[in-house]
Amino acid sequence: MIKFEIEHDGLTGLNNRVRFHEAAREEIRSENPFALAFIDIDDFRHVNNREGYQAGDEVLVAVARGLAGIDENDCVGRMGADLFAVLIRGSASRDAAVRAVESYAELFRRPLRIAGPEGGRTLAVGASIGVAGYPADGRSLEDLIGRAEVALKAAKSVAGSATSMFEASMDSVVKETALRVSELAAAIADDQLVLAYQPTFELATRRIAGAEALVRWDHPIRGRLPPSEFIDFAERNDLIGALTFWVFRRVARDLASRRTWPPGFRIYFNVAARMLDDVPFITMLDESLRTNPRVAAHLGIEVTESAAMQNVERSMTTIDLFRRLGVSVAIDDFGTGHSSLSYLKNLVVDVIKIDRSFISGLPGDDRDNAIVEMMLRITDRFGFASLAEGIETEAQLSWLREHGCRYGQGYLVAKPEAFEVLLDRLQMTSSARRVTHFVSPVGVRGLEPAACSAAGASGNEWLPFGGRRLAKGTRPPGS
């Protein structure tokens, strides 16, 4: 049962990304020809917005059931929120791959039967498909994935659902992708990345309660690049692990550079979906923070709602480990994920961040008002701290404060800024500063273990920002 949960997607029951990649590598080692098809549901966000998150989940389950039922010899996996993959075994030629993929494309040419009240209903859903073949289009899994993604982009560029086979003429895109992968890998290794810290503030007092670490890339030719230019690219091209390691090391170093921090202060950094079951990352975090509780006491991790819901059981296990280490956990982009809000009850987290797309219309948009009010009731009911993203006006801040939101982020108070500027905002004097380094059991630089006790780190410390309400006399996890 545990093995099944580790290898399969929690919502659909399909192979997850890790297991699917293992199956593809097994075929490559055996030198068996196959086709790799990426299937992306068209305009899935509109399905969620139009039909609701529960219907969105039902569509994903129906698609998964349909794909898995076409040919039991094939391997089907869920690679992302609305992205599926099929390993089509025995496709020894291009014509064979085209015929096989046609069976999967046919699934989306008729309405899907989805579960629901009163026996369910049908819903029309389209999909774009990109295909690459082994060994003709690549002899490594990385090459095949890159070429299937290029073919998928070509399919999505066509109006309406379409299927695209990889063509040699597309190779320039593959080469460009390979160059970008090399550049980003070098940027991570050579410290071309920098962090900007977006302060988090208490709405009632505007006191800075923490910050979010946002990574930037100082590209030698293109200048400073925002996360939107390379984060998704890193995730698609297996660099998100190295990038996450780099961000953690830098945040830990900055936290370790001070003897003390204001009560309640935490710095959060973002963790991608695949890192929630990445054993090296979890091991590194566990071993580093167990020997450095003072860093853990001021550290937070953000996971997007859609990432947490991809495999609820896995997320619960990993999040519980983070919190037992003393790390605060926030669900980011709340309200935008591809999951029913009712799943939230399965996750024990500390902070819920309400996405900026719902804040922008406050207080003039009645629909946004109603949605945010509902979210605040949910967070209060489960005992989470609420944080609104993207606050840009006094009217928005006032409305949120009046409706019980505790924390916020936004340009109204502060933009992302250098670490030194954040320290100035906190009015931390240079006399309190001390930079220390250490090499953890897995080689992560941060705070020297001996310095923790010297600084007076206390296992009883429970910080208000990012903390769930606790019954009187009880202690938080990991204390």
Domain ranges of the chain: 2-166, 184-454
Name the pLDDT band for 334 (thresholds 50, 70, 90): confident
The amino acid sitting at 448 is E
Mean pLDDT for all residues in the chain: 84
Is the pTM higher than 0.75?
Answer: no
Inter-residue contact 192 to 217 (CB < 8 Å): yes
What mean pLDDT is predicted for residues 112-125? 75
pLDDT at residue number 428: 54
Q: 2-166 and 184-454 share one CATH topology?
A: no
Assess whether pLDDT exceeds 60 at residue 404: yes
pLDDT at residue number 445: 32
Assess whether pLDDT exceeds 90 at residue 45: no
2-166 topology per CATH: Alpha-Beta Plaits (3.30.70)
Under DSSP, is residue 164 helix (H, G, I), strand (E, B) or coil? strand
Q: How far apart are the first and last CA of the chain?
A: 31
Cβ-based neighbour number of residue 100 at 10 Å: 21
Under DSSP, is residue 85 helix (H, G, I), strand (E, B) or coil? strand
- Distance in angstroms (rounded) separating the CA atoms of residues 66 and 57: 14
Name the pLDDT band for 118 (thresholds 50, 70, 90): low
184-454 topology per CATH: TIM Barrel (3.20.20)
- Distance in angstroms (rounded) separating the CA atoms of residues 468 and 346: 15
Under DSSP, is residue 291 helix (H, G, I), strand (E, B) or coil? coil
